[in-house]
């Protein structure tokens, strides 16, 4: 039941391949439910936008019903709707805009658009006090579609200072997994295989890595991962004699380990380097690939060496798409900005 003095917030996050809906009472999460599409996208080894949109259409009503039932609330009790609008897969976004805008219009509930990238960055505020995150900071955002470095002078100032020139690191993890006939998403599987590699981490001094470190210009904040993907492909072709025989488990472990090291060395170095160049003492990590333990370990090592403070999401749950990150962003928006009680026009 709704308490009179509390604001009830319905948060939607359906921008890519997860249908996540949460209900909050002011700043308290009452219930969150997420329908994942991973099993379906496994078949194609990646997200097909049309398929993702159809799955959202199938899931959105039962997920919504679940969160309302679990919280013992009705749509009439909702004070605000928060939803992701940009950027991401248009067909997926269309699903929720139709549902959320209809609820908003019929019941006259204000609807506030949320930027998906900013929400992933704000996942770092979940289960933390505001003062735990110090500005200015440099933030690395790494996912299946994005690989960027942002400078944040304060909580609302997000300026892109570097990006990938081709693939993102997450996409490279997914494609390399596909080359070895592993499941989607490849990141968690590759990192698990790499963990069982016998060689101590970090690499032995003087040992030659199997794959190149692609720096572009080492001191600049841009990335490239497509050449590394090609190098892995050549290695897989060589070891399988162009698929005349299968890769052994040892091959998969070694390739996973060597590939992961090649990605992580560049990501960690560039994040820390950009912070040092800008005289910034704080670095942050966000989005899907930040679930990678080895990446966090390497950034922690470099940050410590250079006297930087390193922040990353407190739970791997907050690295993936989740409605909690949409809520935390809007919680801070409410705190900093006074929103008029009005229906927003949602533009995609």
The size of the chain, in residues, is 348
DSSP state of 124: G
Quick one: which segment of 151-159, 171-179, 292-300, 315-323 binds Zn ion (CB under 5 A)?
315-323
Distance (Å, whole) CA 1 – CA 76: 11
From the CB of 323, what's the least distance to ligand KG4, in Å?
12
Nearer to Zn ion, 55 or 321 (CB): 321
From the CB of 191, what's the least distance to ligand KG4, in Å?
4
- Asked if 8 contacts 79 with a C-beta cutoff of 8 angstroms, the reply is yes
Distance (Å, whole) CA 127 – CA 313: 9
Distance (Å, whole) CA 88 – CA 5: 36
DSSP state of 79: -
From the CB of 170, what's the least distance to ligand KG4, in Å?
3
Binding site for ligand KG4 (CB under 6 A): 16, 143-145, 170, 173-174, 185-188, 191, 287-289, 291-292, 320-321
Nearer to Zn ion, 13 or 254 (CB): 13
Q: How many chain residues interact with Zn ion (CB under 5 A)?
A: 1
Q: Does 321 bind Zn ion (CB under 5 A)?
A: yes
Nearer to ligand KG4, 145 or 227 (CB): 145
Q: Does 13 bind Zn ion (CB under 5 A)?
A: no
Q: Which tokens hold the place of 15?
A: 């921008």
45 binds, among Zn ion, ligand KG4, none (CB under 5 to 8 A by kind): none
Nearer to ligand KG4, 73 or 323 (CB): 323
From the CB of 47, what's the least distance to ligand KG4, in Å?
8
Query: Angle at the Cα of 11 (from 51 to 324), degrees rounded to 5?
Result: 95
From the CB of 321, what's the least distance to Zn ion, in Å?
4
- Cα distances from 292 to residues 32, 56, 116, 131, in angstroms, run 24, 27, 20, 26
Nearer to ligand KG4, 141 or 282 (CB): 141
From the CB of 313, what's the least distance to Zn ion, in Å?
12
DSSP state of 15: S
**Which DSSP string do the residues of 182-236 spell out, in sequence order?**
PPSSHHHHHHHHHHT-SSPSSPPTTPPPSS----SSTTSS-B--HHHHHHHHHHH
174 binds, among Zn ion, ligand KG4, none (CB under 5 to 8 A by kind): ligand KG4
Quick one: which segment of 102-110, 231-239, 246-254, 313-321 binds Zn ion (CB under 5 A)?
313-321
129 phi/psi in degrees, rounded to 5 = -85, 150
256 binds, among Zn ion, ligand KG4, none (CB under 5 to 8 A by kind): none
Closest CA to 145 of 257, 19, 271, 49: 49
Nearer to Zn ion, 258 or 321 (CB): 321
Distance (Å, whole) CA 23 – CA 229: 41
Nearer to Zn ion, 75 or 314 (CB): 314
From the CB of 199, what's the least distance to Zn ion, in Å?
33
Distance (Å, whole) CA 103 – CA 42: 32
> Angle at which helices 186-195 and 169-179 pack, to 10 degrees?
70
186 binds, among Zn ion, ligand KG4, none (CB under 5 to 8 A by kind): ligand KG4
Nearer to ligand KG4, 296 or 301 (CB): 296
From the CB of 3, what's the least distance to ligand KG4, in Å?
33
- Footprint on this chain of Zn ion (rule: CB under 5 A): 321
């Amino acid at each position: 039941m709704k308490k009179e003095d509390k604001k009830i917030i319905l948060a939607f996050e359906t921008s890519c391949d997860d249908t996540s809906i949460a209900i909050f009472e002011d700043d308290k999460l009452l219930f969150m439910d997420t329908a994942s599409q991973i099993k379906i996208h496994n078949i194609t080894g990646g997200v097909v936008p049309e398929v993702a949109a159809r799955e959202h259409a199938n899931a959105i009503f039962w997920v919504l019903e679940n969160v309302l039932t679990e919280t013992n609330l009705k749509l009439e009790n909702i004070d605000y709707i928060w939803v992701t609008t940009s950027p991401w897969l248009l067909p997926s976004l269309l699903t929720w805009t139709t549902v959320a805008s209809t609820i908003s219009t019929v019941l006259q509930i204000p609807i506030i658009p949320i930027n998906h990238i900013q929400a992933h960055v704000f996942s770092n505020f979940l289960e933390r006090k505001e003062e735990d995150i110090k500005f200015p900071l440099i933030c690395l955002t790494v996912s299946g579609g994005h690989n960027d470095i942002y400078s944040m002078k304060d909580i609302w100032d997000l300026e892109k200072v570097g990006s990938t020139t081709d693939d993102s690191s997450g996409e490279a993890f997914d494609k390399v997994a596909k080359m070895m006939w592993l499941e989607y998403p490849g990141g968690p599987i590759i990192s698990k295989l790499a963990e069982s590699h016998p060689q101590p981490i970090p690499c032995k001094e003087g040992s030659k890595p199997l794959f190149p470190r692609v720096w572009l210009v080492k001191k600049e904040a841009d990335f490239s991962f497509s050449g590394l993907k090609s190098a892995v492909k050549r290695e897989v072709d060589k070891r399988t004699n162009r698929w005349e025989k299968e890769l052994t488990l040892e091959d998969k472990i070694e390739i996973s380990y060597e590939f992961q090291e090649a990605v992580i060395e560049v990501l960690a170095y560039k994040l820390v380097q950009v912070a040092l160049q800008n005289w910034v003492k704080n670095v942050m990590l966000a989005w899907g690939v930040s679930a990678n333990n080895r990446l966090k370990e390497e950034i922690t090592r470099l940050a410590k060496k250079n006297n930087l403070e390193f922040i990353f999401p407190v739970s791997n749950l907050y690295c993936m798409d989740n409605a909690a990150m949409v809520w935390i962003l809007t919680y801070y928006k409410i705190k900093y900005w006074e929103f008029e009680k009005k229906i927003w026009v949602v533009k995609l």
